[in-house]
Structure 1
Amino acid sequence: MYAAQRGYLNLIDLLIDKGADTKKTDRNGTDALLWASWSGNTDTVVRLLSKGFEINDRDKEDKTPLIHAAERGLTPLVEFLLSKGADREAKDKSGRNALLWAAWNGNLDILKRLFLSGSILDVKDNGGKTPLIYAAEKGFVEVAKMLLDAGAKLDLKDNNGRDAVLWAAWNGHGDTVELLLSKGSEIEVTDKNGKTPLIYAAHNGDKALIQFLLSQGANTESKDRSGSDALLWAARIGLADTVKLLSKGSKIEVSDRSGKTPLIYAAQNGDKSLVQFLLSRGADAESKDRSGRNAILWAVRNGYGDTVELLLSKGSKIEVTDRNGKTPLIYAAQNGDKSLVQFLLSEGANTESKDRSQCNALLWAAINGHTDTVELLLLKGSKVEDTDREGKTPLVYAAQNGHKALVQILLSQRANKESKDKSGCNALLWAVWNNYTDIVELLLTNSSNIEIRDKAGKTPLIYAAERGYAEMTELLLDKGANTDAVDFKDNDAALTAFLKGHSKVEKIIICRRSKCNN
């Protein structure tokens, strides 16, 4: 094989005369003839064929000598193999034959020779691509022209529903698009997702191609399966110049299946200049998508303060809500965006507005542990004892979610340590349940009731036993927790640990109890 790859004819003769195995292949299934073909050694190929090698031999990828030669652009070798009767239509595992490989590489000479020798012009690979589609995809305009002149079909599509003009548009090959349209390709052709050449051009921000397609009568209102037209795609991706170009002939208030408009996409992306442009063209700032979010809600949700400021200056409502009842202030607090919270408060945002879960800005900030935002909201009048639908206060959420610094701040603001939610859990019980020992210690240091009970009569120690938290159990016992306290089912901590299979915790409790008895 090495001799064949290097073209050492004398060595090849010697080895074969000495009985070398001509069927021998490497780990890729490549024999001497295939190596010679890959290397472009025509003389070596001639010699090996004369020694009995099979002209249509295949490697593990099912590539023949002719496919290798076409793939590598080896014109003389292609000519020779064709003259010896090589199978023109043999395909490799990708479904490509020699003609498809030549088209893929844009090799005009080999394409012509294969076509003239009788290769099928509209052959398809496993993905349904034809030579013309390959030429269009790669932007080989001369190859495309030759194939069209030879009679290649324009309307054939691959497995994704894309024909040649769609591939050319997708990859930004304007000259190829122009050629294909001049030969009869449909300007409104769509792929399986409903995308047209104009939508692809807009998706790529190809202004020159967009202008050409518009000059040829492309429909700006054509939508794909997501309900997006060219303008929406440009806005969605953030291509401001493309949006401005398309807006001259497109509806500015168009929306896709999610209900989003170009303005919503621009605000969602924080593109202030594009938002300004769309507003100047009459875009409706109050239009909402299916989630109930309009431009300002999206801008706040994604933290684009300058866009929020612009929208408010143009009349957007500061108390607008989405389907879940969230306002701009709630989104800003949820994200811990202190500067945006401060700005919205300065514009008159209501700190007491609640969403459908009855959470306001303060509660959302507490849920996510945004200490700076919580401090700001409390300073601006938010109530430290406010509750949501579940009866949870900021302190309960801070303890439940392990936000120790926030627990400390809320305690300094005299938050009620014994406030319970609807399950009967207070901050201490939640901290124990989630194994936040540092928060439990902090709460107990601040005089939380160590024998507090939930609706089932369970104490912090019973919680620790139920969850199998050995360290937490030790802490509570050190702080004086009552080992004999029972819940409403008459189960104490030791029995609870036993029932849950937490033998280590059970032993800790029994040991402490026995020492206490002694």
Structure 2
Amino acid sequence: MTPNLWPPAKKTTIILLLWRGEQQRIAHMNEDLSNEPNCAAYFECSSHSRRTGAVDVSSVLQSIGTQLTKRFPNLVLPHVSTLTMLSASDCIEHLVHLPLHSLPPTAQVMFIAIDGLPENLFDFAISNSWYFVNQLDRALSCGLLSPTNVPSSSKDLLDDLIASLPLRLPIYVLLVKASRNAPSLTNLITAAQLATNEEWSIVEREIRSVAKVCAEQEDPFTLYGEWDELPGDLAHCHSAWAQFYKMKRQRTAQDVVELAYHLAHSNAPTLDALHILRSVRAGELVLQCPVLDTSTTTLLTKAGATLSPNKQKDFVYLCAIGDVEEMKKCEGVTLDEWSMGIVAAAARGHIEACRWIITHKPAMGTEVTQNGQWNALRSAACNGHVHLLQMLIQYGCSVDECGLGGRTALRATAWAGYENAVRELLAAGANVEKRDSEERTPLMAAAFMNFPNVCRLLIERGARVESVDSAGATALHLALSNGSNTKNHEQVVKLLLGENADVNICDMNGRNCLHLAAYHNNAQLKLILDRVHSVDAQDSLGRTALMLAASQGRNEAIQLLVDHGSNIDWIDLHGRTALQLAAIHSHLDTVNVLVSLGADEAHKDNEGALALHYAVSHDDPQLVKALANDITLNATDRIGNTSLIVACQNGSRMVVDELIQMGADVNIQTLEGNTALRIAALTGNTQIVHSLLPHVSDNLQSDCDGTSLLHSLLINRQTSMSRLLIESGIVDLLAVDSHCRSITHIVATTNDVTSAEMLHCYCSNQLTFEEKDEDGRSPLLTAVWSGHTRIALFLLSTTGVNPNSVDNQVFIKNGHL
């Protein structure tokens, strides 16, 4: 099964891989995923949980969130209760998507892996997933893109797909957009015919090919993700749909309304539209309320349709626009509508609307909306409406009232940066240390959002700079973690440091302010360095500030840290140094800086890997040059991989050529018996095979089980690669495996006539197809015993083998043919 792929925000290159089923595992990853340099987070459902479906959203997201905050020091994830995660449909959006959007772009594609996800959570994750890699997976499956040329952004991906799909793709997508509801496949094809004047069979074929990439489902045709945002003029498509509804033989009242909708949004002249509507008896309609939108309702009434005057106004909408007179006319307003109405009015600063609601419903001053998050005071504060705040406070609204999230009006306006609103609430006695559900104070909110004046006001009124949230972060932690590089940000950090913020406090990930400042190369790094107890303090992953700076390519910070005595070869819990982290993240300049400062290129981590092993995973020969020397070039990791073998696994011919030119030994075997050539050939990389062949000395290339490379290729039915090796002349055609089976026995066992024809064509002068294995069986006997009729007939009719051949048991399975 192909894994489903889940991308994050477009600014980052982090993707989510979801596997379903007991046996699904991430291919080519023999190591623990937590040690994979490109793995940002990993969650494996237990066997019991996969069988029972007992893993819930809370368990998955809490584990993934914890790992992400350890991997990315500047990532701030909200603390949400288990109950909220189980009940909120947008928890993935707020817990993962939005925080990841705040990260700077990563130097290479990283991934989050969830293995063995139960069916109930798989559907949930996909319904909340992002767009990019799902589309990439579809495009690769349809052969529209090459796996070696993956776009780096959603825009590039869309551009590539538009170029690969039918030329009329925009018309088909815009037709779906113009249709108010997802059209059936038949209706879409009919409308497309009307829009393009093309034959039905051609339109159907093109729409079905488009559906494989652009549609969430084909029938009804529902656009997936950002295809719904494809720009274009919809007027022509509305005309096609209008013609479709006009041509329908059995029209319902709803069909007439749909016709009016499309006419109203097309370029049809008004008189022509009215003529069409009257011809379908639109004047006989009686509308109990406005339909669809104003333009549709207006066109229908002009065509003679009757609009019932007894229509109920939308109370919340009237509150949002501040129309008090119309609000007074509303009847039967529910409690939820009252509470939503005053929040809507407060958000837009409509004082009189709020005053009228509180006068008639005094409890609305403190009533929290149905979702448990908003009240009128907080809504006004978040939007900076000072006069409305004053009025609400005069009417007795509690300044510290908060919803389920614990966010007060002061916290809301501090987050939004409205100084006057902050002053008003402080003057009214708002609690400056009131904490939300994440234990964050208004000062933390203002610091994270880079509002120095608001921070100063709060500190003057007693806000404590040393307070920590539920994740152990102070206001200074949060300010440093947002990664900004603005004047306001610098002022906030200076202000907090000037208030003697403790830079040595560690958050739940073991990171102090030096870690964060180094990670982002903050302008106040030197001042923080002068205050820390240890320049090489390690976080929960064992990483120092120097390591974090190296992982992000912060060369200035690296030099400053080294000048202050940081140990350049300190190792983390995985045994990795700053140099290895720089190589993992493909920071060439940083690698050069660290090497020039004396970093040990020959250091091996817990997996036995050097920095060079990680460098070759990037398509950057210069990075390889910076780390390759006589010691590192042929060094092996824990399972015997050299950097050349790793490069072959990653498929970069430029890197492979560079390593060979520098003297890499192509004949070294891993503990499993793999060589660079075996890896390249078995993965089908013809270009790398061509680079390796002139340097290969072993013509068997056998693994630890004694299976030659040619045997392995034929077992995998890789006929083309087998032919390439045979033509090169480096393979031993008469080689046998540990059971004395020749390559002719292999094609007989796999019933592979194509490979057998190739061997007969290219190797008939050496192969007789009468070779015997350890049991004395010829390829024909092997085919008969396996029940493979096709290959047996080929051997008899083409190669002229002896049909009376016997094995060591002097026995032929009679009657099988």
Offset at residue 344 of structure 1 (A) = 3.8
Task: Describe the shift of the 1:338–1:41 C-alpha distance in structure 2 as closer, same or farther (beyond 3 A).
Answer: closer
Q: For residue 79 of structure 1, what is the aligned residue in structure 2?
A: 355
Offset at residue 418 of structure 1 (A) = 0.9
State TM-score, norm by structure 1: 0.83
Matched, 1:92 2:369: yes
- 1:170-319 pair list within 5 angstroms: 170-204=448-482, 205=484, 206-236=489-519, 238-250=520-532, 251-319=534-602
Paired letter, 2:690: Q
Is contact 1:201-1:207 (8 Å) kept?
Answer: no
Q: For residue 646 of structure 2, what is the aligned residue in structure 1?
A: 364
Q: 1:282-328: per-residue Cα shift (whole Å, max 9, x none)?
A: 21111111121112222233333332232222222232221222223
Task: Describe the shift of the 1:154–1:121 C-alpha distance in structure 2 as closer, same or farther (beyond 3 A).
Answer: same
Matches of 2:710 and 2:553 in 1, distance apart?
41
Offset at residue 240 of structure 1 (A) = 4.2
Task: Describe the shift of the 1:373–1:83 C-alpha distance in structure 2 as closer, same or farther (beyond 3 A).
Answer: closer
Paired letter, 2:608: G
Structure 2 residue matching 1:232: 3-state secondary structure: helix
Question: Could you say which structure has the larger radius of gyration?
Answer: 1
Paired letter, 2:584: R
Matched, 1:341 2:617: no
Matches of 2:402 and 2:774 in 1, distance apart?
74
The farther-off stretch of 403-412 and 329-338 is 329-338
Matched, 1:116 2:394: yes
Matches of 2:431 and 2:753 in 1, distance apart?
75
Matches of 1:389 and 1:143 in 2, distance apart?
68
Q: For residue 686 of structure 2, what is the aligned residue in structure 1?
A: 404
Q: Note the aligned Cα RMSD (angstroms).
A: 3.3
Offset at residue 422 of structure 1 (A) = 0.2
Q: For residue 389 of structure 1, what is the aligned residue in structure 2?
A: 671
Task: Describe the shift of the 1:379–1:113 C-alpha distance in structure 2 as closer, same or farther (beyond 3 A).
Answer: closer
Structure 2 residue matching 1:241: 3-state secondary structure: coil
Paired letter, 1:511: L
Is contact 2:751-2:790 (8 Å) kept?
Answer: no
Paired letter, 1:332: A
Matches of 2:527 and 2:459 in 1, distance apart?
22
Offset at residue 126 of structure 1 (A) = 3.2
Offset at residue 341 of structure 1 (A) = 3.2
Is contact 1:330-1:364 (8 Å) kept?
Answer: yes
Offset at residue 457 of structure 1 (A) = 5.0
Task: Describe the shift of the 1:173–1:471 C-alpha distance in structure 2 as closer, same or farther (beyond 3 A).
Answer: farther
Offset at residue 417 of structure 1 (A) = 2.1
Offset at residue 39 of structure 1 (A) = 2.4
Matches of 2:760 and 2:518 in 1, distance apart?
61
Is contact 2:783-2:792 (8 Å) kept?
Answer: no
Offset at residue 389 of structure 1 (A) = 1.2
- 1:119-130 pair list within 5 angstroms: 119-130=397-408
Is contact 1:397-1:427 (8 Å) kept?
Answer: no
State TM-score, norm by structure 2: 0.54
Task: Describe the shift of the 1:423–1:482 C-alpha distance in structure 2 as closer, same or farther (beyond 3 A).
Answer: farther
Q: 1:374-433: per-residue Cα shift (whole Å, max 9, x none)?
A: 444444443332222122222222222222222223322243221311022222123234
Offset at residue 109 of structure 1 (A) = 1.9
Q: 1:133-183: per-residue Cα shift (whole Å, max 9, x none)?
A: 111111122222222222222333222221211111111122222222222
Of 700, 706, 709, the match for 1:427: 709
Offset at residue 219 of structure 1 (A) = 0.3
Matches of 1:396 and 1:256 in 2, distance apart?
41
Structure 1 residue matching 2:523: 3-state secondary structure: helix
Is contact 2:753-2:794 (8 Å) kept?
Answer: no
Task: Describe the shift of the 1:492–1:264 C-alpha distance in structure 2 as closer, same or farther (beyond 3 A).
Answer: farther
Task: Describe the shift of the 1:74–1:463 C-alpha distance in structure 2 as closer, same or farther (beyond 3 A).
Answer: farther
Task: Describe the shift of the 1:514–1:245 C-alpha distance in structure 2 as closer, same or farther (beyond 3 A).
Answer: same
Matched, 1:103 2:381: yes
Matches of 1:495 and 1:233 in 2, distance apart?
69
Offset at residue 223 of structure 1 (A) = 0.9
Q: For residue 12 of structure 1, what is the aligned residue in structure 2?
A: none
Is contact 2:653-2:687 (8 Å) kept?
Answer: yes
**Structure with more contact order per residue of length (Cα contacts < 8 Å, sep ≥ 6):** 2
Offset at residue 122 of structure 1 (A) = 2.0
Task: Describe the shift of the 1:64–1:228 C-alpha distance in structure 2 as closer, same or farther (beyond 3 A).
Answer: closer
Is contact 1:398-1:407 (8 Å) kept?
Answer: yes
Matches of 1:382 and 1:126 in 2, distance apart?
62
The farther-off stretch of 442-451 and 176-185 is 442-451
Of 20, 44, 62, the match for 2:326: 44
Task: Describe the shift of the 1:105–1:409 C-alpha distance in structure 2 as closer, same or farther (beyond 3 A).
Answer: closer
Matches of 2:325 and 2:783 in 1, distance apart?
84
Matches of 1:54 and 1:303 in 2, distance apart?
64
Is contact 1:55-1:65 (8 Å) kept?
Answer: no
Task: Describe the shift of the 1:132–1:496 C-alpha distance in structure 2 as closer, same or farther (beyond 3 A).
Answer: farther
Is contact 1:285-1:295 (8 Å) kept?
Answer: yes
Matches of 1:209 and 1:351 in 2, distance apart?
48
Is contact 1:55-1:86 (8 Å) kept?
Answer: no
Q: Percent identity?
A: 24
Unpaired runs of 5+ residues, structure 2, are 1-288, 295-306, 804-817
Q: For residue 416 of structure 2, what is the aligned residue in structure 1?
A: 138
Of 600, 608, 612, the match for 1:329: 612
Q: For residue 162 of structure 1, what is the aligned residue in structure 2?
A: 440
